[in-house]
Amino acid sequence: MYKYIKSVEYFNTYQMEMKEEQLQQVTKHSSLGEVSCIGKHPSVERGGSYALIDLPKIVDPRGNLTVAEQMKNIPFDIARVYWTYDVPSGERRGGHAHRTCQEIVIAVSGSFDVTVDDGLGGKEIYHLNHPYQGLYIGTGVWRTLEDFSSGAVCLVLASELFDEDEYIYEYEEFLECVRPARS
């Protein structure tokens, strides 16, 4: 019982310390200024952000626990949760950007790679394989998920309900949206 109480106390302290750090990490890779077809969210300084976020991991001999809470260790209100699984070998998921939706992508089982592209030359590949880490992807970031391991499960926490018009599916349209308007 003592170990559990100690873990809860640690978690509460960890949450308080991480809230500000998480919000700072979210803007770490920001590269976009004001653009007309990409929306804004009050918890993100600028669009085009992405960052790997460590979620609290409570170690317990009965099994570990990780918690995701909106506006505590997730920098937005969670409106939708979805997951992909049984992805056939060699298949890709994603291949789009969002105008207003922010997401946290988590490999809750297995592993996969996420390529994020801000459309302005910033492109990175993240290998997700820990259920206590999430990749924050802000608005105006193209994402592609691939190289899924057998049995991989990709969980996504989204800031918006599904809206087909909010997606950008064509890469050329995405590039037009993220490039600053010429004077």
Give the active site residues: 96
Separation between Cα atoms, residue 149 and residue 32, nearest integer Å: 33
Q: Any idea what DSSP says for residue 70?
A: B
Encoding tokens for residue 40? 């804004």
Element (H, E) at 172: helix 171-178
Considering Cα of 144, then 103, then 46, then 173, what sign does the dihedral take?
positive
CA distances from 36 to 2, 144, 176, 178 (A): 54, 23, 10, 8
Alpha carbon dihedral 84, 86, 92, 94, in 10-degree steps, equals -10
- Pick from 126, 136, 141, 133: which is nearest to 158 by CA? 136
Separation between Cα atoms, residue 94 and residue 10, nearest integer Å: 36
Q: For the chain, give the longest Cα–Cα distance.
A: 65
